[in-house]
Structure 1
Amino acid sequence: MVRDEMTSREYQVGDAITVPWGLDLVQGTVVGAYGEGLGLRVLVEVDLGDGSTEVLPFPPRALEIAQQPEGQSPPGAWVQASRYEESLSRVLSKILHAHVPEWLGGVEVNARLGEAREIDFLAQLPDRLLLVEAKHYRDVQRPLNTSTLDQVEAYLRGLRRNSPPAVALVVTNAKVPLSVIERAEKYREASVPMWVAGWREWDTPVELEMALAEALRFPVSG
Protein backbone atom coordinates (compact mmCIF):
# COMPACT_ATOMS: atom_id res chain seq x y z
CA MET A 1 0.00 0.00 0.00
CA VAL A 2 1.29 3.46 -0.94
CA ARG A 3 0.22 6.20 1.45
CA ASP A 4 0.48 9.94 0.82
CA GLU A 5 0.82 11.28 4.36
CA MET A 6 0.06 14.86 3.30
CA THR A 7 -3.27 14.06 1.69
CA SER A 8 -4.25 10.99 3.74
CA ARG A 9 -4.94 9.26 0.42
CA GLU A 10 -3.92 5.64 -0.03
CA TYR A 11 -2.76 4.22 -3.34
CA GLN A 12 -3.06 0.44 -3.43
CA VAL A 13 -0.58 -1.32 -5.70
CA GLY A 14 -2.63 -2.75 -8.54
CA ASP A 15 -5.28 -0.02 -8.48
CA ALA A 16 -6.43 1.42 -11.82
CA ILE A 17 -6.11 5.20 -11.80
CA THR A 18 -6.46 8.08 -14.25
CA VAL A 19 -3.17 9.88 -14.91
CA PRO A 20 -2.17 12.93 -16.95
CA TRP A 21 -0.48 12.16 -20.27
CA GLY A 22 0.59 15.30 -22.08
CA LEU A 23 -2.60 17.31 -22.36
CA ASP A 24 -4.78 14.19 -22.15
CA LEU A 25 -5.83 11.76 -19.42
CA VAL A 26 -5.18 8.02 -19.69
CA GLN A 27 -5.63 4.94 -17.52
CA GLY A 28 -2.74 3.42 -15.64
CA THR A 29 -1.97 0.99 -12.83
CA VAL A 30 -0.26 1.87 -9.55
CA VAL A 31 2.91 -0.21 -9.14
CA GLY A 32 4.74 1.53 -6.29
CA ALA A 33 6.14 4.81 -5.01
CA TYR A 34 9.27 6.51 -3.74
CA GLY A 35 10.18 9.61 -1.69
CA GLU A 36 8.12 11.38 0.94
CA GLY A 37 6.51 14.76 1.62
CA LEU A 38 6.68 17.09 -1.39
CA GLY A 39 9.13 14.64 -2.96
CA LEU A 40 6.67 11.72 -2.94
CA ARG A 41 6.10 10.21 -6.37
CA VAL A 42 3.55 7.51 -7.19
CA LEU A 43 4.74 5.05 -9.83
CA VAL A 44 2.10 4.26 -12.44
CA GLU A 45 2.40 1.84 -15.34
CA VAL A 46 0.85 3.29 -18.50
CA ASP A 47 -0.05 1.39 -21.67
CA LEU A 48 1.59 3.20 -24.60
CA GLY A 49 -0.92 1.72 -27.03
CA ASP A 50 1.56 -0.27 -29.12
CA GLY A 51 1.77 -3.29 -26.84
CA SER A 52 4.47 -1.74 -24.68
CA THR A 53 4.18 -0.09 -21.27
CA GLU A 54 6.14 2.50 -19.32
CA VAL A 55 6.33 3.21 -15.60
CA LEU A 56 6.08 6.93 -14.85
CA PRO A 57 6.38 8.89 -11.57
CA PHE A 58 3.62 11.37 -10.66
CA PRO A 59 3.31 13.84 -7.77
CA PRO A 60 0.16 13.03 -5.77
CA ARG A 61 -1.39 16.43 -6.50
CA ALA A 62 -1.27 15.77 -10.25
CA LEU A 63 -3.16 12.52 -9.66
CA GLU A 64 -5.71 14.28 -7.46
CA ILE A 65 -6.45 16.84 -10.17
CA ALA A 66 -6.64 14.14 -12.84
CA GLN A 67 -9.46 12.41 -10.93
CA GLN A 68 -11.74 15.45 -11.26
CA PRO A 69 -14.59 15.30 -13.80
CA GLU A 70 -13.55 16.56 -17.23
CA GLY A 71 -16.17 19.28 -17.09
CA GLN A 72 -14.41 20.78 -14.09
CA SER A 73 -10.87 19.97 -15.22
CA PRO A 74 -10.25 20.68 -18.93
CA PRO A 75 -7.48 18.71 -20.69
CA GLY A 76 -4.11 20.01 -19.55
CA ALA A 77 -5.52 21.88 -16.53
CA TRP A 78 -3.62 19.61 -14.14
CA VAL A 79 -0.30 20.81 -15.55
CA GLN A 80 -0.74 24.49 -14.72
CA ALA A 81 -2.62 23.87 -11.48
CA SER A 82 -0.08 21.38 -10.16
CA ARG A 83 2.88 23.61 -11.03
CA TYR A 84 1.16 26.62 -9.50
CA GLU A 85 0.47 24.84 -6.23
CA GLU A 86 3.96 23.38 -6.00
CA SER A 87 5.46 26.84 -6.57
CA LEU A 88 3.07 28.40 -4.07
CA SER A 89 4.01 25.82 -1.44
CA ARG A 90 7.69 26.76 -1.76
CA VAL A 91 6.96 30.50 -1.65
CA LEU A 92 4.73 30.15 1.40
CA SER A 93 7.38 28.15 3.25
CA LYS A 94 10.09 30.69 2.41
CA ILE A 95 7.99 33.65 3.58
CA LEU A 96 6.85 31.92 6.76
CA HIS A 97 10.36 30.90 7.78
CA ALA A 98 11.53 34.47 7.19
CA HIS A 99 8.78 35.96 9.36
CA VAL A 100 8.69 33.21 12.01
CA PRO A 101 12.35 32.16 12.39
CA GLU A 102 11.60 30.01 15.45
CA TRP A 103 9.20 27.85 13.41
CA LEU A 104 10.85 24.62 12.32
CA GLY A 105 7.84 23.04 10.66
CA GLY A 106 6.71 22.73 7.07
CA VAL A 107 3.70 23.52 4.93
CA GLU A 108 1.28 20.61 4.79
CA VAL A 109 -0.37 20.03 1.42
CA ASN A 110 -4.04 19.02 1.03
CA ALA A 111 -4.59 18.90 4.78
CA ARG A 112 -7.70 17.31 6.23
CA LEU A 113 -10.04 19.53 8.25
CA GLY A 114 -12.37 16.98 9.75
CA GLU A 115 -13.83 14.08 7.81
CA ALA A 116 -15.27 15.93 4.82
CA ARG A 117 -13.15 19.06 4.46
CA GLU A 118 -9.73 19.70 3.00
CA ILE A 119 -7.62 22.83 2.66
CA ASP A 120 -4.88 23.22 0.07
CA PHE A 121 -2.15 24.23 2.55
CA LEU A 122 -1.85 24.18 6.33
CA ALA A 123 0.99 25.43 8.52
CA GLN A 124 1.02 24.75 12.26
CA LEU A 125 2.81 27.83 13.55
CA PRO A 126 3.85 28.35 17.19
CA ASP A 127 0.75 30.37 18.13
CA ARG A 128 -1.78 29.69 15.36
CA LEU A 129 -2.80 27.61 12.39
CA LEU A 130 -2.48 29.12 8.93
CA LEU A 131 -4.96 27.90 6.33
CA VAL A 132 -4.31 28.70 2.68
CA GLU A 133 -6.74 28.02 -0.16
CA ALA A 134 -5.30 28.31 -3.69
CA LYS A 135 -7.44 29.09 -6.73
CA HIS A 136 -5.75 28.66 -10.10
CA TYR A 137 -7.55 29.53 -13.32
CA ARG A 138 -6.46 28.99 -16.91
CA ASP A 139 -8.08 32.34 -17.72
CA VAL A 140 -6.31 34.83 -15.45
CA GLN A 141 -8.93 37.45 -16.29
CA ARG A 142 -11.60 35.35 -14.60
CA PRO A 143 -12.46 37.09 -11.32
CA LEU A 144 -12.20 35.27 -8.02
CA ASN A 145 -15.66 34.61 -6.59
CA THR A 146 -16.66 35.67 -3.08
CA SER A 147 -18.03 32.15 -2.52
CA THR A 148 -14.43 30.96 -2.04
CA LEU A 149 -14.10 33.27 0.97
CA ASP A 150 -17.41 32.03 2.35
CA GLN A 151 -16.14 28.46 2.11
CA VAL A 152 -12.93 29.29 3.96
CA GLU A 153 -14.93 31.23 6.57
CA ALA A 154 -16.89 28.05 7.29
CA TYR A 155 -13.60 26.18 7.75
CA LEU A 156 -12.38 28.78 10.25
CA ARG A 157 -15.57 28.71 12.27
CA GLY A 158 -15.52 24.94 12.35
CA LEU A 159 -11.94 24.89 13.62
CA ARG A 160 -12.55 27.30 16.47
CA ARG A 161 -14.43 24.75 18.55
CA ASN A 162 -11.65 22.21 18.92
CA SER A 163 -8.41 23.56 17.44
CA PRO A 164 -5.77 26.24 18.06
CA PRO A 165 -6.56 29.78 16.84
CA ALA A 166 -6.49 29.97 13.06
CA VAL A 167 -6.08 32.58 10.34
CA ALA A 168 -6.67 32.07 6.63
CA LEU A 169 -5.47 33.29 3.27
CA VAL A 170 -6.92 32.84 -0.21
CA VAL A 171 -4.34 33.04 -3.01
CA THR A 172 -5.22 33.21 -6.70
CA ASN A 173 -3.59 33.83 -10.06
CA ALA A 174 -6.81 35.50 -11.25
CA LYS A 175 -8.21 38.99 -10.87
CA VAL A 176 -9.21 39.96 -7.33
CA PRO A 177 -12.27 42.22 -7.67
CA LEU A 178 -13.09 44.92 -5.16
CA SER A 179 -16.10 42.92 -3.94
CA VAL A 180 -13.79 40.10 -2.79
CA ILE A 181 -11.42 42.50 -1.04
CA GLU A 182 -14.36 44.11 0.74
CA ARG A 183 -15.77 40.72 1.75
CA ALA A 184 -12.44 39.79 3.36
CA GLU A 185 -12.36 43.13 5.20
CA LYS A 186 -15.88 42.57 6.54
CA TYR A 187 -14.89 39.13 7.77
CA ARG A 188 -11.91 40.59 9.64
CA GLU A 189 -14.15 43.27 11.17
CA ALA A 190 -16.32 40.41 12.42
CA SER A 191 -13.22 38.77 13.98
CA VAL A 192 -12.88 36.19 11.21
CA PRO A 193 -9.19 36.59 10.26
CA MET A 194 -9.06 36.13 6.50
CA TRP A 195 -7.02 37.78 3.73
CA VAL A 196 -6.89 37.48 -0.05
CA ALA A 197 -3.87 37.96 -2.29
CA GLY A 198 -3.12 37.69 -5.98
CA TRP A 199 0.07 35.90 -7.00
CA ARG A 200 1.41 34.48 -10.25
CA GLU A 201 4.46 32.26 -10.57
CA TRP A 202 6.54 34.87 -12.38
CA ASP A 203 5.66 37.68 -9.92
CA THR A 204 7.65 38.84 -6.93
CA PRO A 205 5.33 37.85 -4.05
CA VAL A 206 5.02 41.35 -2.58
CA GLU A 207 1.23 41.26 -2.20
CA LEU A 208 1.34 37.69 -0.88
CA GLU A 209 3.99 38.53 1.70
CA MET A 210 2.08 41.62 2.87
CA ALA A 211 -1.09 39.59 3.37
CA LEU A 212 0.80 36.85 5.21
CA ALA A 213 2.51 39.40 7.46
CA GLU A 214 -0.88 40.85 8.43
CA ALA A 215 -2.21 37.37 9.13
CA LEU A 216 0.78 36.62 11.36
CA ARG A 217 0.32 39.89 13.29
CA PHE A 218 -3.41 39.44 13.81
CA PRO A 219 -4.05 39.07 17.57
CA VAL A 220 -5.16 35.58 18.52
CA SER A 221 -5.77 33.91 21.86
CA GLY A 222 -4.86 30.36 22.69
Structure 2
Amino acid sequence: MPERTRRSDPNLGPSVGERVHVRWGLDLLPGLLIERYDSSSGGRAVVRLDPQGPGDAEPQTVTVPISEVHPAEDVEELDPPGTWISHSEYEHEVVRALSRVLRRIKWADVTKLEHSPDARYDYLADTSRGPLVVEVKYSHREDFTEARAGEVARQLAAHPAALKFLVSNARFPDRSLRRLAPGRVMPVTWRSPKDDIRLDKIIRAALKEFGSLDERDAVTRRDLPLSD
Protein backbone atom coordinates (compact mmCIF):
# COMPACT_ATOMS: atom_id res chain seq x y z
CA MET A 1 0.00 0.00 0.00
CA PRO A 2 1.41 3.43 -0.87
CA GLU A 3 1.96 5.83 1.99
CA ARG A 4 -0.85 8.36 2.23
CA THR A 5 -0.11 11.84 3.55
CA ARG A 6 -2.60 14.67 3.68
CA ARG A 7 -1.91 17.47 1.21
CA SER A 8 -2.07 20.82 2.98
CA ASP A 9 -1.04 23.32 0.29
CA PRO A 10 -4.26 24.83 -1.10
CA ASN A 11 -2.40 26.53 -3.94
CA LEU A 12 -1.73 23.25 -5.76
CA GLY A 13 -5.16 22.69 -7.19
CA PRO A 14 -8.59 22.59 -5.50
CA SER A 15 -8.84 22.31 -1.72
CA VAL A 16 -10.69 19.80 0.43
CA GLY A 17 -14.31 20.88 0.82
CA GLU A 18 -14.36 22.63 -2.54
CA ARG A 19 -16.93 21.99 -5.28
CA VAL A 20 -15.18 20.42 -8.25
CA HIS A 21 -15.66 18.66 -11.56
CA VAL A 22 -13.82 15.39 -12.07
CA ARG A 23 -12.89 13.87 -15.41
CA TRP A 24 -14.50 10.43 -15.23
CA GLY A 25 -14.57 8.22 -18.30
CA LEU A 26 -15.80 10.41 -21.16
CA ASP A 27 -17.60 12.91 -18.96
CA LEU A 28 -17.03 15.72 -16.48
CA LEU A 29 -18.98 15.00 -13.30
CA PRO A 30 -19.68 17.44 -10.44
CA GLY A 31 -18.91 16.58 -6.87
CA LEU A 32 -17.23 17.53 -3.60
CA LEU A 33 -13.51 17.09 -2.94
CA ILE A 34 -13.38 15.29 0.41
CA GLU A 35 -9.71 14.28 0.55
CA ARG A 36 -6.42 14.75 -1.26
CA TYR A 37 -3.13 13.03 -0.52
CA ASP A 38 0.27 12.09 -1.93
CA SER A 39 1.14 8.58 -3.04
CA SER A 40 4.08 6.97 -4.77
CA SER A 41 2.31 7.54 -8.10
CA GLY A 42 1.61 11.23 -7.44
CA GLY A 43 -1.16 13.37 -5.99
CA ARG A 44 -4.54 11.71 -5.56
CA ALA A 45 -8.00 13.06 -4.82
CA VAL A 46 -11.12 11.50 -3.32
CA VAL A 47 -14.32 13.02 -4.72
CA ARG A 48 -17.91 12.37 -3.66
CA LEU A 49 -19.85 12.63 -6.92
CA ASP A 50 -23.27 14.25 -7.05
CA PRO A 51 -26.14 11.83 -7.79
CA GLN A 52 -26.46 11.54 -11.57
CA GLY A 53 -30.05 10.39 -11.74
CA PRO A 54 -33.06 9.09 -9.79
CA GLY A 55 -31.47 5.64 -9.59
CA ASP A 56 -28.47 6.93 -7.65
CA ALA A 57 -29.62 6.40 -4.07
CA GLU A 58 -26.15 6.75 -2.57
CA PRO A 59 -23.47 9.22 -3.71
CA GLN A 60 -20.57 7.52 -5.46
CA THR A 61 -17.04 8.19 -4.21
CA VAL A 62 -14.12 7.93 -6.63
CA THR A 63 -10.34 8.24 -6.25
CA VAL A 64 -8.52 9.82 -9.18
CA PRO A 65 -5.26 11.63 -9.94
CA ILE A 66 -5.45 15.21 -8.70
CA SER A 67 -4.80 16.34 -12.27
CA GLU A 68 -8.27 15.03 -13.19
CA VAL A 69 -10.00 17.31 -10.66
CA HIS A 70 -10.87 20.92 -11.47
CA PRO A 71 -12.53 23.71 -9.47
CA ALA A 72 -16.21 24.06 -10.36
CA GLU A 73 -15.76 27.68 -11.45
CA ASP A 74 -13.21 26.60 -14.08
CA VAL A 75 -15.50 24.10 -15.83
CA GLU A 76 -16.34 26.50 -18.70
CA GLU A 77 -12.63 26.71 -19.58
CA LEU A 78 -12.13 22.95 -19.83
CA ASP A 79 -12.21 20.93 -23.02
CA PRO A 80 -15.70 19.62 -23.88
CA PRO A 81 -16.55 16.22 -22.35
CA GLY A 82 -15.06 13.24 -24.13
CA THR A 83 -12.59 15.21 -26.27
CA TRP A 84 -9.56 13.87 -24.40
CA ILE A 85 -9.75 10.49 -26.12
CA SER A 86 -9.39 9.44 -29.74
CA HIS A 87 -12.23 8.70 -32.17
CA SER A 88 -11.40 4.98 -32.15
CA GLU A 89 -11.48 4.84 -28.34
CA TYR A 90 -14.82 6.63 -28.28
CA GLU A 91 -16.31 4.36 -30.94
CA HIS A 92 -15.12 1.30 -29.01
CA GLU A 93 -16.91 2.53 -25.87
CA VAL A 94 -20.09 3.28 -27.83
CA VAL A 95 -20.13 -0.22 -29.32
CA ARG A 96 -19.80 -1.70 -25.85
CA ALA A 97 -22.72 0.46 -24.69
CA LEU A 98 -24.86 -0.54 -27.67
CA SER A 99 -24.13 -4.21 -26.99
CA ARG A 100 -25.15 -3.82 -23.34
CA VAL A 101 -28.38 -2.05 -24.22
CA LEU A 102 -29.40 -4.32 -27.10
CA ARG A 103 -28.85 -7.45 -25.00
CA ARG A 104 -31.40 -6.15 -22.53
CA ILE A 105 -34.10 -5.64 -25.19
CA LYS A 106 -34.82 -9.34 -25.48
CA TRP A 107 -38.26 -8.93 -27.11
CA ALA A 108 -36.65 -7.35 -30.18
CA ASP A 109 -34.45 -10.40 -30.91
CA VAL A 110 -31.47 -8.21 -31.74
CA THR A 111 -28.56 -9.94 -33.41
CA LYS A 112 -24.92 -9.04 -32.94
CA LEU A 113 -23.84 -5.62 -34.16
CA GLU A 114 -21.85 -5.78 -37.39
CA HIS A 115 -19.34 -3.15 -38.42
CA SER A 116 -19.87 -1.90 -41.97
CA PRO A 117 -16.99 0.47 -42.75
CA ASP A 118 -17.70 0.58 -46.50
CA ALA A 119 -21.39 1.40 -46.18
CA ARG A 120 -23.16 4.64 -45.38
CA TYR A 121 -23.43 3.78 -41.70
CA ASP A 122 -21.04 2.38 -39.08
CA TYR A 123 -23.01 -0.49 -37.55
CA LEU A 124 -25.97 -2.68 -38.44
CA ALA A 125 -28.11 -4.92 -36.25
CA ASP A 126 -31.02 -7.06 -37.41
CA THR A 127 -34.04 -7.03 -35.12
CA SER A 128 -37.46 -8.64 -35.17
CA ARG A 129 -38.82 -5.14 -35.93
CA GLY A 130 -36.46 -4.44 -38.83
CA PRO A 131 -32.87 -3.31 -39.44
CA LEU A 132 -31.21 -0.85 -37.12
CA VAL A 133 -28.27 1.27 -38.27
CA VAL A 134 -25.97 3.39 -36.14
CA GLU A 135 -23.61 6.18 -37.10
CA VAL A 136 -20.98 7.14 -34.49
CA LYS A 137 -19.57 10.66 -34.66
CA TYR A 138 -16.86 11.82 -32.29
CA SER A 139 -16.55 15.58 -31.88
CA HIS A 140 -14.01 18.00 -30.43
CA ARG A 141 -16.81 20.56 -30.12
CA GLU A 142 -19.27 20.74 -27.26
CA ASP A 143 -22.22 21.06 -29.68
CA PHE A 144 -22.88 18.98 -32.78
CA THR A 145 -22.84 21.49 -35.63
CA GLU A 146 -25.76 22.09 -37.96
CA ALA A 147 -23.55 21.46 -41.00
CA ARG A 148 -22.38 18.11 -39.68
CA ALA A 149 -25.94 17.11 -38.80
CA GLY A 150 -26.94 17.86 -42.39
CA GLU A 151 -24.13 15.66 -43.68
CA VAL A 152 -25.25 12.73 -41.51
CA ALA A 153 -28.87 13.20 -42.56
CA ARG A 154 -27.91 13.07 -46.24
CA GLN A 155 -25.64 10.09 -45.61
CA LEU A 156 -28.32 8.02 -43.88
CA ALA A 157 -31.02 9.04 -46.35
CA ALA A 158 -29.83 6.12 -48.47
CA HIS A 159 -31.63 3.85 -45.97
CA PRO A 160 -35.13 5.33 -45.60
CA ALA A 161 -36.70 2.13 -44.29
CA ALA A 162 -34.24 1.53 -41.43
CA LEU A 163 -34.18 2.77 -37.87
CA LYS A 164 -31.38 5.33 -37.83
CA PHE A 165 -29.39 6.47 -34.81
CA LEU A 166 -26.62 9.04 -34.51
CA VAL A 167 -24.46 8.68 -31.39
CA SER A 168 -21.99 11.39 -30.40
CA ASN A 169 -20.20 12.79 -27.37
CA ALA A 170 -21.47 16.25 -28.39
CA ARG A 171 -24.77 17.82 -27.45
CA PHE A 172 -27.43 18.38 -30.11
CA PRO A 173 -28.74 21.97 -30.20
CA ASP A 174 -32.14 22.71 -31.74
CA ARG A 175 -30.70 23.80 -35.08
CA SER A 176 -28.95 20.42 -35.48
CA LEU A 177 -32.06 18.53 -34.39
CA ARG A 178 -34.03 20.31 -37.12
CA ARG A 179 -31.59 19.01 -39.74
CA LEU A 180 -31.91 15.42 -38.49
CA ALA A 181 -35.69 15.32 -37.99
CA PRO A 182 -36.87 15.09 -41.64
CA GLY A 183 -34.84 11.93 -42.16
CA ARG A 184 -35.99 10.46 -38.83
CA VAL A 185 -32.41 10.25 -37.56
CA MET A 186 -32.50 9.86 -33.79
CA PRO A 187 -29.58 11.56 -32.01
CA VAL A 188 -28.14 10.35 -28.71
CA THR A 189 -25.48 12.07 -26.63
CA TRP A 190 -23.42 9.32 -24.99
CA ARG A 191 -20.39 10.09 -22.83
CA SER A 192 -20.23 7.36 -20.20
CA PRO A 193 -22.09 4.22 -19.04
CA LYS A 194 -24.48 6.43 -17.06
CA ASP A 195 -25.87 7.47 -20.46
CA ASP A 196 -26.88 3.86 -21.18
CA ILE A 197 -30.28 4.76 -19.67
CA ARG A 198 -30.85 7.45 -22.30
CA LEU A 199 -29.62 5.18 -25.09
CA ASP A 200 -31.86 2.33 -23.91
CA LYS A 201 -34.93 4.57 -23.70
CA ILE A 202 -34.49 6.01 -27.20
CA ILE A 203 -33.81 2.64 -28.86
CA ARG A 204 -36.75 0.94 -27.09
CA ALA A 205 -39.16 3.70 -28.09
CA ALA A 206 -37.98 3.61 -31.69
CA LEU A 207 -38.26 -0.18 -31.93
CA LYS A 208 -41.78 -0.12 -30.52
CA GLU A 209 -42.85 2.56 -32.99
CA PHE A 210 -41.14 0.72 -35.84
CA GLY A 211 -42.96 -2.48 -34.90
CA SER A 212 -46.32 -0.73 -35.14
CA LEU A 213 -45.87 0.06 -38.84
CA ASP A 214 -48.10 -1.67 -41.35
CA GLU A 215 -46.71 -5.02 -42.52
CA ARG A 216 -46.50 -3.86 -46.11
CA ASP A 217 -43.85 -1.37 -45.01
CA ALA A 218 -41.71 -4.02 -43.33
CA VAL A 219 -38.11 -4.22 -44.52
CA THR A 220 -35.38 -6.78 -44.34
CA ARG A 221 -31.61 -6.84 -44.39
CA ARG A 222 -31.53 -6.89 -48.20
CA ASP A 223 -32.69 -3.27 -48.18
CA LEU A 224 -29.37 -2.29 -46.59
CA PRO A 225 -26.44 -2.88 -48.95
CA LEU A 226 -23.17 -3.48 -47.14
CA SER A 227 -21.29 -1.36 -49.67
CA ASP A 228 -22.00 1.46 -52.07
Report the TM-score, using the length of structure 2 for normalisation: 0.49
In structure 2, what is the equivalent of residue 206 of structure 1? 197
In structure 2, what is the equivalent of residue 120 of structure 1? 122
In structure 1, what is the equivalent of residue 151 of structure 2? 151
Residues 172 and 102 (structure 1 numbering): CA distance in 2 closer, same or farther, change over 3 Å? closer
Residues 104 and 177 (structure 1 numbering): CA distance in 2 closer, same or farther, change over 3 Å? closer
In structure 1, what is the equivalent of residue 54 of structure 2? none
Indicate the SS of the match to 1:215: helix
Q: What percent of counterpart residues are identical?
A: 22
Asked if residue 215 in structure 1 is aligned to residue 206 in structure 2, the reply is yes
In structure 2, what is the equivalent of residue 196 of structure 1? 187
Within the candidate set 178, 181, 185, 1:182 is matched to: 178
Equivalent position amino acid for 1:176 in 2: F
The Cα of 1:211 is off from its aligned counterpart by: 1.9
Indicate the SS of the match to 2:172: coil
Q: Tell me if the contact between 1:149 and 1:170 (Cα under 8 Å) persists in the aligned partners.
A: no
Residues 122 and 149 (structure 1 numbering): CA distance in 2 closer, same or farther, change over 3 Å? farther
Indicate the SS of the match to 2:191: coil
Following the alignment from structure 2 to structure 1, what is the Cα–Cα distance between the partners of residues 93 and 194? 11
Following the alignment from structure 2 to structure 1, what is the Cα–Cα distance between the partners of residues 108 and 166? 24
Deviations 1:100-156 (A, max 9, x none): 44525211123433xxxx3222112223221111111244x2x21233433343344
Asked if residue 137 in structure 1 is aligned to residue 143 in structure 2, the reply is no
Indicate the SS of the match to 1:129: strand
Q: Tell me if the contact between 1:119 and 1:132 (Cα under 8 Å) persists in the aligned partners.
A: yes
Residues 154 and 129 (structure 1 numbering): CA distance in 2 closer, same or farther, change over 3 Å? farther
Q: Tell me if the contact between 1:199 and 1:208 (Cα under 8 Å) persists in the aligned partners.
A: yes
Q: Tell me if the contact between 1:107 and 1:122 (Cα under 8 Å) persists in the aligned partners.
A: yes
Unaligned segments of structure 2, at least 5 residues: 1-82, 219-228
Q: Tell me if the contact between 1:156 and 1:167 (Cα under 8 Å) persists in the aligned partners.
A: no
Following the alignment from structure 1 to structure 2, what is the Cα–Cα distance between the partners of residues 104 and 176? 27
Report the TM-score, using the length of structure 1 for normalisation: 0.50
Following the alignment from structure 1 to structure 2, what is the Cα–Cα distance between the partners of residues 196 and 204? 13
Indicate the SS of the match to 2:134: strand
Q: Tell me if the contact between 1:168 and 1:215 (Cα under 8 Å) persists in the aligned partners.
A: no
Following the alignment from structure 2 to structure 1, what is the Cα–Cα distance between the partners of residues 188 and 159? 22
Residues 78 and 111 (structure 1 numbering): CA distance in 2 closer, same or farther, change over 3 Å? farther
User: Between Structure 1 and Structure 2, whose CA radius of gyration is higher?
Assistant: 2
The Cα of 1:92 is off from its aligned counterpart by: 0.8
Residues 158 and 202 (structure 1 numbering): CA distance in 2 closer, same or farther, change over 3 Å? closer
Unaligned segments of structure 1, at least 5 residues: 1-76
Residues 126 and 194 (structure 1 numbering): CA distance in 2 closer, same or farther, change over 3 Å? same
Superposed CA RMSD in Å reads 2.6
The Cα of 1:215 is off from its aligned counterpart by: 2.1
Within the candidate set 165, 171, 178, 1:169 is matched to: 165
Following the alignment from structure 2 to structure 1, what is the Cα–Cα distance between the partners of residues 165 and 187? 6
How many residue pairs get aligned? The number is 131
Indicate the SS of the match to 2:104: helix
Deviations 1:8-52 (A, max 9, x none): xxxxxxxxxxxxxxxxxxxxxxxxxxxxxxxxxxxxxxxxxxxxx
Following the alignment from structure 2 to structure 1, what is the Cα–Cα distance between the partners of residues 194 and 89? 14
Within the candidate set 71, 82, 93, 2:88 is matched to: 82
The Cα of 1:207 is off from its aligned counterpart by: 2.2
